[in-house]
Every structure is written in structure tokens, then in C-alpha cells.
Amino acid sequence: MKIANLPQEFTAALPILETITTAGFEAYFVGGSVRDMLLGKAIHDVDIATSAYPSEIKALFNKTVDTGIEHGTVMILDHGNGYETTTFRTETGYTDFRRPDSVNFVRDLAEDLKRRDFTINALAMRADGEIVDLFNGLEDLDNHIIRAVGDPVERFHEDALRMMRALRFSAQLGFVIEDTTNTAMQAEAHLLVNIAVERINVELSKLMLGKAAGEGLLGFAQSGLFNYVPNIDMGRELDIVAAGLKLQGQTLSDDATAWTYLIDQLGLSEGDAAGFLKAWKHSNDFSKQVKTAYHFIQLYRQQTTITAWELYQVGTALPIAIAVLKLNFSSFDGDKYLTAYHSLAITNKRQLAIDGQQLIATGVVKPGPKMGKILADIEHAVVIGKLKNHLSDLLAYAEMLQSKGE
Ligand SMILES: Nc1ccn([C@@H]2O[C@H](COP(=O)(O)OP(=O)(O)OP(=O)(O)O)[C@@H](O)[C@H]2O)c(=O)n1
Ligand SMILES: [Mg+2]
């Protein structure tokens, strides 16, 4: 198969391939960019594989960065673009199930392609657009199949994260995982304990945002992989299955919504949700958004009316809560809450017509611990509509609070 018109991302890199081949080496586009081009999807990073050794690449180009030179990767900088260029390599020894004990540089493309994870990721493309397809990756792309290259057990022993990648690609692309690959995932799922939580997090996040996230979660349950990730107890299979079934035909728009959805489906207490987010090594800001959205969801479940103050407190996490509630209650009217939120007198403390500095400047309130309390009372009174957000009203109110407290 030969691609007639290469997308711009590739044509921009052609001079690099030419420099390498003119020097007598081989060079190909490989991996995700070739796969995504064939699928007609947006192309992210254009990766290059070459028979040239890192030292030979560095001798050919003026500007390079050693991004992973011990594994054979050098980044070539060219007109503001960076191209990860990796020497063909074989790997040996996977005692920790996540990376090779050693890599060996080789001159043969086939050796390099056969250690890659899935057939659709083991395609290479020459500068002239000719596709090198040694493992029927093109056929699998056509048939929407995720299939390990060669023996799936070997591939998963080389890097156990690949099992999560299989689920992630199936969810992103709407592909089915081929039987032998799937069986190997069930058998080797336990190896996932060797993988850093951050890396599993990235894959589970991508899975949940996939167009076939529901099927991806069903695969997460069925493979048993969920048993080997942080803070999801053994025996939660039915919760994951339920999460997957509910998501079929639906998509989640962002990471915060996805993780709030997962926590909600697991039925965690708010305290456990906090521990869960920590165990998965989410950032503090991200966790705060999720916890705030989840708190609102709990309030909604416990009571029928939501107060203005509760809306104010959910703040920018409201769309997350709404998206998750919509998945749970088909008749949930999210617009009602958005409208109510946008008609609040203020949605942020900074929108108050006065701040602490000004309060002190007017002489109404003396600096000290009381001032924080007075400001908080003002904020609350404005949000619930008891007090107008006008400077004169706020000053009068502050004066009243101050004299009352003395
Ligand atoms: N555990 C892994 C990770 C990567 N690869 C190989 O390295 C390529 C690039 O890896 P990466 O960028 O992580 O994945 P992509 O397939 O490019 O997918 P994405 O679109 O998410 O970048 C893959 O296509 C695959 O050939 C692999 O064999 N095993
Ligand atoms: Mg990539």
C-alpha cells in the first residue's frame, strides 16, 4: 500500500528522512502517527525509526536533544518542530514487567517492529508513502481489531501497561480486542501491579474519554485488570460492569467528569473519594474539582432542593456534576441549575463590591480575626440574596456586624 498524498505533518519531516537516507541509513515514520493517518484522525507526534545509531544521528544534524539516548532516542529539532528519532532496537530481559533490562541497537526494521505492542501500532511508512506492514496491521485496522504482535503473553511481560493500552485503544477507536490477546490479558492481568499508578491513570483516563468508553470499562471488568489498580477493591466487578453499561452510547467530555463518574459508580463516601483520588495520584486542583462536583451530586441525591449557597459552593464544578447526574437520571434538568447558577448575585468572592483592604480603609472594621468572619458573613448574605452587592449596603452591613460583635 502506498499513500499518495502525505499529510503536512509528514511532509514537513521529509527533509529529515532524506538527510538520514542520503547518509546511507534507513528511516521510517512509525507508530501512532502512521496509524492515525490511516484512520483519518488528527496526527500528534511524528516519530521516526532509523537504522542509524544515536551517535550517527547526532553527527548528521546540528540541533539534537538527548531525550532518551540510552534507549536510542534522540530528538531532532527542525524549524520549530521536534522529531523523536529512535534507533531500531531489540530488547532483552523484563524482570520488572515494565521496561527491558537492556536494549540492543540493530540495523533491521523487522527486528524493531516485532517488539511493538499491537499490529496497528507496528506499521511503518517510507518517505515515499509506502507502508511496511509485517504483521497484517492494515487488515486489523480495516477490521477494527486490537491484536498483539506475535505472542501476547510475551508482549505483556515486556510491558504490563500494554494491557491497559489495549483497552484504551479499543475505547478510543471503537475496536474489538482479538481473542488470544484478550485471553492473555485475563491470564496476565496480575502483572499490572508492577506498573506505576501515574501510567495506569493516563490510560484509564484516555479509556474513559473514548467514544466506546462503555465497552472499555466492560473490558476493564472482564479482563480482571481492575483488581490490580489502586483503591478498587477486589469484588467490585459488578460496579465496573454497571459503569460500563450505563456509558454505552455515551461519551464523557473531560477527565474530571470521567473520574467523578467512576467514583459515583463505585458509590464511595466523600471521605473515601478523597483517598481514592490521592491513591491515583491526581493533582490537588483536579481532586478539588472532582470532590466539589461529587459533593453536589450527594446533596442532590439526599435532598430535592438545592440552595443558592450550595450552588455558589459547587461553582465551576457544576458542569461536571450535571454531566454525571444526567447519566444517572435521564430526566435530570441540568439547564435549570445552570440558569440558577448564572443568576446568582456573585459567583466568586472577588466579585463582592468590597474587599478586606477597603473595609479597613473605611475604618468600619479593624484588622484582625474578626474581619475574616465579617467578610464571610457578607459573602453569604449577598449569595443568598439577603444583601445587595452595593458598596453602601455592604458597608452598612459590616458596620452592623461590627457593632453587634462588640
Ligand atoms: N508500551 C508500549 C508503548 C509504545 N509502544 C510502541 O511505541 C509507539 C509509540 O508509543 P506511544 O506514543 O505511547 O503510543 P501511540 O501508539 O503513539 O499512541 P498515542 O496516540 O496515544 O500517542 C506505539 O505506537 C508502539 O509501536 C509499544 O510497543 N509498547
Ligand atoms: Mg504517540
- Nearest-ligand number for the alpha carbon of 30: 1
| Per-residue pLDDT tens digits for 35-78 | 999 999 999 899 999 999 999 999 999 999 999 998 999 999 98
Assigned domain for 262 exists? no
Domain containing 127 — which CATH number?
A: 3.30.460.10
State the pLDDT at residue 406: 54
Task: Quickly state the pLDDT bin for 297 (edges 50, 70, 90).
Answer: very high
Q: How far is the CA of 102 from the centre of ligand 2 (A)?
A: 22
Nearest 5°: the CA angle 70, 75, 81 is 165
CA dihedral 397, 403, 404, 406 (to 10 degrees): 150
Please check whether residues 379 and 300 belong to one and the same domain: no
Mean pLDDT within 247-271: 97
Q: Which of 236, 278, 286, 234 is nearest to 258 (CA)?
A: 286
Please check whether residues 62 and 175 belong to one and the same domain: no
Domain-ending residue, one of 96, 120, 136: 136
Domain-ending residue, one of 111, 136, 161: 136
Assigned domain for 302 exists? yes
| Distance in angstroms (rounded) separating the CA atoms of residues 193 and 376 | 47
State the pLDDT at residue 261: 98
Give the residue numbers spanning the domain of 295. Answer: 270-343
Please check whether residues 173 and 118 belong to one and the same domain: no
Contact indicator for 72, 81 with CB cutoff of 8 Å? no
Please check whether residues 334 and 301 belong to one and the same domain: yes
Domain-ending residue, one of 97, 118, 136: 136
Please check whether residues 132 and 4 belong to one and the same domain: yes
- The separation between the first and the last C-alpha atoms of the chain, rounded to the nearest angstrom, is 85
* Residue whose C-alpha cell is 523523536: 84
| Per-residue pLDDT tens digits for 96-147 | 888 788 888 889 999 999 999 999 999 999 999 999 999 999 999 999 999 9
Distance of CA 397 to the CA centre of its chain: 47
Please check whether residues 182 and 303 belong to one and the same domain: no
Q: Is 67 helix (H, G, I), strand (E, B) or coil?
A: strand
| Per-residue pLDDT tens digits for 148-171 | 999 999 999 999 999 999 999 999
Average pLDDT, the chain: 94
Please check whether residues 119 and 229 belong to one and the same domain: no
Q: How far is the CA of 32 from the centre of ligand 1 (A)?
A: 6
| Distance in angstroms (rounded) separating the CA atoms of residues 393 and 345 | 14
Q: Which of 216, 223, 138, 215 is nearest to 188 (CA)?
A: 223
Structural domains of the chain, count: 4
Assigned domain for 18 exists? yes
Assigned domain for 257 exists? no
State the pLDDT at residue 180: 98
Q: Pull the grid cell for residue 267.
A: 458509590
Residue 89 assigned as binding residue = no
Assigned domain for 260 exists? no
Q: What is the residue with the minimal CA distance to atom 23 of ligand 1?
A: 31
Residue 98 assigned as binding residue = no
Q: pTM to 2 decimals? A: 0.93
In this prediction, the answer to ipTM > 0.90 reads yes
Looking at the CA of residue 165, tell me the nearest atom of ligand 1. Answer: 1
